[in-house]
Amino acid sequence: MRQLPPEFFRTPYAFYEQLRAQGPVHQIQLRTGVRAWLIVDYDAAREALRNPTIRKDPHTDTGAGARREGAGESGVGAVNARLSYHLLNTDPPHHARLRKLVTPAFAPARIEALTPRVTAITDELLDRLAAAEGPVDLMDEFAFPLPITVICEMLGVPAADREQFKEWSAVVSDITLADPARMRVATDAIVAYFEDLLARCRAEGPGADLLSDLLTASEADDRLTDDEIISMAFLILIAGHETTVNLIGNTMLTLLADPPKYAALRENPEQVPALIEEMLRFEGPVNMATLRYTTVPTVIGETEIPAGELVLVALGSANHDEKRFDAPDAFDADRNTNGHLAFGHGIHYCLGAGLARLEARIAISRLLERYPDMRLAVDADDILWRESVLFRGVLDLPVETTKSP
């Protein structure tokens, strides 16, 4: 049984490399006591994510009990049950039904149409940075507020309620570490809030927001139930927030830690989309947050995982697998990143990938344009990474927005 080494959160890649050298599948114990099977190779990761017997809901087959056991220790069990009827908790055939109903709201044309609003929100936040005297924390002042503001606007959450949303989101986003009592309070409040918003949406008639889309979504005679709408809104809030925050943060850290790289990109802003794709591979925001359970004994690589076991796919390791990507620990914006697994693989492939790419593209492009002389205010090695097995990102990113005198 492997344990995560202390330096894992600063840099997980050496540990992943060691594991890959010993095989594609390992048993690990997390600091919370939760035990899991960790998949570290690229091919095995894709195989596991596509395997129909490795499922999200262990109760649909012989895996009953696994989720309850893991959940109790991790705080997942404290989540209000009415928030659990969403895509990331469901398996076929139910998953396909839900996915069909919500996919139109994320159609590429709908996402592209958000460009002016995302740009305006980005510029408003960047205006505020200009007023700062001395170093500012780019995470607090920019990377965090941008995605949460975009998502709240998409969901139709009034501006006055957004601070409250940020707080709830912070509590529930790190489900392996959160305190169960705080988790319960926050998720009860989220249920009550969305119930109220949904009631208002019904009374006033659907608007141009995502909650209205979910309310009116239909396929033949099928409709989402209220619990499914509330759960989906919750998933979008969480999945669409922490991840994009870290994509922006990790990208800026990588660029600012290497000033010539930042300068070169400033001269060639058309390279931003390729750079973001390599960033997703190199330092993707989802570390191993791909919870699944075996429902029958399942062979991955040459290892048989018994039924009812928790399986985590280490996307960060798969994306650094030397058998798939040459010199995987080198950041190379010119490489072919096709097939990276930062957004997952198979039926649960990220629904918000288009939105995440749009936000990151606009955020990085506008930062380059508005703050061409931005630099780190501390040594890159002194920046602290979050101690999360789910998300990969930094706690703070102190920067100077202008040239030093």
Which residues lie near ligand HEM (CB under 6 A)? 87-88, 99, 151, 235-236, 239-240, 243-244, 247, 284-286, 290, 315, 342-344, 348, 350-352, 355-356
**Residue closer to ligand HEM (CB basis): 249 or 400:** 249
Smallest distance from ligand HEM to CB 258, Å: 21
Which residues neighbour 330 within 8 Å (Cβ) at sequence distance 6 or greater?
Answer: none
Smallest distance from ligand HEM to CB 128, Å: 23
Q: CA geometry: angle at 248 spanning 166 and 402, to 5°? A: 100
Smallest distance from ligand HEM to CB 275, Å: 14
Q: d(Cα 366, Cα 370) in Å, to the nearest integer?
A: 6
Smallest distance from ligand HEM to CB 244, Å: 5
Smallest distance from ligand HEM to CB 166, Å: 15
| Residues, the chain | 405
**Residue closer to ligand HEM (CB basis): 231 or 401:** 231
Smallest distance from ligand HEM to CB 339, Å: 14
Which residues neighbour 335 within 8 Å (Cβ) at sequence distance 6 or greater?
Answer: 278, 325, 326
**Residue closer to ligand HEM (CB basis): 388 or 401:** 388
Please, what sign has the CA dihedral across residues 223, 228, 234, 238? negative
Smallest distance from ligand HEM to CB 289, Å: 7
Cis peptide before 93 (omega within 30 of 0): yes
In the structure encoding, which two tokens stand for residue 291, read together?
């919870």
Q: Which residue is nearest to ligand HEM (CB)?
A: 352
**Residue closer to ligand HEM (CB basis): 74 or 401:** 74
**Residue closer to ligand HEM (CB basis): 88 or 143:** 88
| CA-based R_g, the chain, Å | 21
In the structure encoding, which two tokens stand for residue 282, read together?
């190199």
Q: d(Cα 158, Cα 32) in Å, to the nearest integer?
A: 37
**Residue closer to ligand HEM (CB basis): 44 or 377:** 44
**Residue closer to ligand HEM (CB basis): 84 or 182:** 84
Q: Which residues share a beta bridge with 385?
A: 394
Q: Do 250 and 380 meet the contact criterion of CB atoms below 8 Å apart?
A: no
Q: Do 169 and 157 meet the contact criterion of CB atoms below 8 Å apart?
A: no
